[in-house]
């Protein structure tokens, strides 16, 4: 069987940097417990390994407020500005592992909202990255995920400037579609395409592979936004597209009738898992 592995599969720069930051803190062990505010990435395998080494996950702001010592690592998705302020005020040491591309969006949103712009974030309102971005705005914010929400968007102050940014892992084509809908409303609008180039390249490569293989395997955690979007993109190009978290989720019977298989993976998927799936498919089919 022919197996094609996407070159862009696996950890992106921001995720790799965040995970390495946690392991470096474990090695340094400057005293006191090590926490991450939320899972450092959306991958259960990585979280279990970090937990086995003593890293604890804080889930809520109340958890942060109850701390009196230790180190808090801010995950790659970033956090609202108020979280950083809280940790500073409490004197809790923290390490900011926010992806630099996400941090850039924070700076844009802060600057443009302070200059009076109404911020529009194209993305999933329930995703931690989007919640973090929203928390850097000094004024009104709307979060838009689909065409229906874009059509409903309106300004109370028609003369107000609108600044549009995107969740870094949002589908590029959908972003363009939603921007077009908003632009037609005639507002004074500035559009900043903040989708990560690595995300765009990953999506384009996955779509290309899916269009020429008999089956497509997408590897990633079920909570991973960028992996969900990869699955959606690949499903549109290949009807036999399968979403798995690890090799154990793979149904081998689904691949017996095809001659070629493509493999891609989300930005939070360790290469070890990708390699296991790739080797299994190569050896057994």
Query: 86 with 61: CB under 8 angstroms?
Result: yes
Kindly report the length of the chain: 285
Query: 75 with 41: CB under 8 angstroms?
Result: yes
Measured torsion, CA atoms of residues 166, 171, 174, 176, in degrees rounded to the nearest 10 = 60
3-state secondary structure of 233: helix
3 phi, psi to nearest 5 deg: -120, 125
Between CA 28 and CA 51 the distance in angstroms is: 17
Catalytic residue (one of 129, 201, 232, 259) = 129
Between CA 205 and CA 8 the distance in angstroms is: 8
129 noted as active-site residue: yes
Query: 15 with 200: CB under 8 angstroms?
Result: no
- HSE, CB side, 13 Å, CA atoms: give it for residue 44: 8
Closest C-alpha to 98, from 230, 28, 174, 196: 196
Residues with a catalytic annotation lie at 129
């Amino acid at each position: 069987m022919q197996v094609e592995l996407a070159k862009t599969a696996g950890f992106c720069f921001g995720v790799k940097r965040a995970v390495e930051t946690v392991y470096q803190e474990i090695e340094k062990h400057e005293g006191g417990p090590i926490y991450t505010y939320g899972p450092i990435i959306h991958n259960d395998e990585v979280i279990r390994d970090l937990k086995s080494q003593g890293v604890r996950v804080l889930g809520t702001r109340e958890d942060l407020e109850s701390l009196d010592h230790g180190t808090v690592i801010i995950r790659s998705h970033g956090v609202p500005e108020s979280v950083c302020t809280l940790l500073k005020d409490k004197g809790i040491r923290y390490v900011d592992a926010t992806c630099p591309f996400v941090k850039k969006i924070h700076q844009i949103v802060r600057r443009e909202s302070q200059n009076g712009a109404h911020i529009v974030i194209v993305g999933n309102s329930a995703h931690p990255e989007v919640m973090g971005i929203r928390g850097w705005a000094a004024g009104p914010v709307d979060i838009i995920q689909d065409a229906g929400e874009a059509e409903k968007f309106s300004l109370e102050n028609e003369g107000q400037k609108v600044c549009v940014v995107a969740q870094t892992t949002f589908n590029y084509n959908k972003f363009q579609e939603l921007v077009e809908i908003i632009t037609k409303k005639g507002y004074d609008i500035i559009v900043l395409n903040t989708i990560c180039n690595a995300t765009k390249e990953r999506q384009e490569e996955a779509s290309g592979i899916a269009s020429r293989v008999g089956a497509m395997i997408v590897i990633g955690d079920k909570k991973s936004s960028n992996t969900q979007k990869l699955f959606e993109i690949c499903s549109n190009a290949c009807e036999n597209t399968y979403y798995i978290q690890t090799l154990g989720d793979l149904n081998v019977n689904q691949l017996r009738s095809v001659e070629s298989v493509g493999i891609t993976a989300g930005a939070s998927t360790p290469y070890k898992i990708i390699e296991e799936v790739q080797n299994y498919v190569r050896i057994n089919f």
